[in-house]
C-alpha cells in the first residue's frame, strides 16, 4: 500500500471510531433528560464532518432516543456539524464536550469556546444539532463528580 492509501485507511478508522464513540457514550452514560429530548427529533440525521481527516463524514441517525452512526454521507441530513480543527485537536475537543454538563451554562461555554471561534461550524437545523451535542454532554454523570472532587482536593493541597 502507498503512504496515501495508508493515511486514508487511518483517517477512515478514526472517523468510524469517533462515530461509534458517540453512540457508546450516549448509550452508557447518557443523561435521561437529554436522551428523551432525542425522541423529539426521531428519524433526524446529523452529519459530522472532519476536514482534517480527509473530509471524512459520519452520519448520526436518531432512532428511538439513540444515536446510530453510519460511515456514509446522507442526502437527508437535518443538520451538519463541521469539526474544523487539526486531527490532533479532535479528541481534546470531544473530551471537553463530553465532560461539560448538559445545561444552558455548559452549552454557552461550548458555543463561545468552539462555535464563535470557528473550530466547530453548525449548519442546517440548529436545534437538531444542539440536541445531539447536548446528548453527548455527560458531565453531570457521577463519575465526573468524583473526578472534580479529586481535582479540587489536589488544588487545595498544592
**3-state secondary structure string across 73-132:** CCCCCCEEEEECCCHHHHHHHHHHHHHCCCCHHHHHHHHHHHHCCCCEEEEECHHHHHHH
User: Domain range holding 112?
Assistant: 3-157
- What nine digits make up the cell of 65? 432516543
Q: For residue range 59-106, list pLDDT tens digits in order.
A: 999 998 888 998 888 888 999 999 999 999 998 998 898 888 888 999
Q: Give the per-residue pLDDT at 113.
A: 94
Structural domain count of the chain? 1
C-beta of residue 65 within 8 angstroms of C-beta of residue 33: no
> What's the rounded Cα separation, in Å, for the pair 128 and 145?
28
How distant, in Å, are the alpha carbons of 26, 48, 67, 126 from that of 32?
Answer: 10, 23, 14, 21
On the 0-12 / 13-18 / 19+ scale of CB atoms within 10 A, 85 is: buried
Question: Is residue 155 scored above 80 in pLDDT?
Answer: no
pTM above 0.75, yes or no: yes
C-beta of residue 57 within 8 angstroms of C-beta of residue 49: yes
Output the average pLDDT for the chain: 86
CA terminus-to-terminus distance, the chain = 51
> The CATH number of the domain where 153 resides is what?
3.30.1050.10
Amino acid at each position: 500500500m502507498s503512504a496515501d492509501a495508508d493515511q486514508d485507511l487511518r483517517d477512515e478508522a478514526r472517523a468510524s471510531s469517533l462515530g461509534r464513540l458517540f453512540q457508546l457514550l450516549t448509550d452508557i452514560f447518557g443523561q435521561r433528560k437529554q436522551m428523551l429530548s432525542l425522541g423529539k427529533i426521531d428519524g433526524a440525521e446529523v452529519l459530522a464532518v472532519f476536514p482534517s481527516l480527509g473530509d471524512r463524514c459520519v452520519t448520526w441517525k436518531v432512532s428511538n432516543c439513540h444515536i446510530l452512526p453510519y460511515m456514509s454521507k446522507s442526502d437527508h441530513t437535518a443538520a451538519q456539524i463541521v469539526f474544523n480543527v487539526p486531527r490532533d485537536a479532535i479528541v481534546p475537543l470531544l473530551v471537553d464536550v463530553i465532560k461539560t454538563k448538559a445545561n444552558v451554562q455548559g452549552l454557552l461555554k461550548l458555543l463561545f469556546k468552539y462555535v464563535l471561534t470557528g473550530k466547530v461550524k453548525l449548519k442546517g437545523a440548529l436545534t437538531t444539532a444542539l440536541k445531539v451535542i447536548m446528548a453527548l454532554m455527560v458531565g453531570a454523570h457521577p463519575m465526573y463528580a468524583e473526578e472534580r472532587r479529586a481535582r479540587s482536593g489536589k488544588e487545595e493541597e498544592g
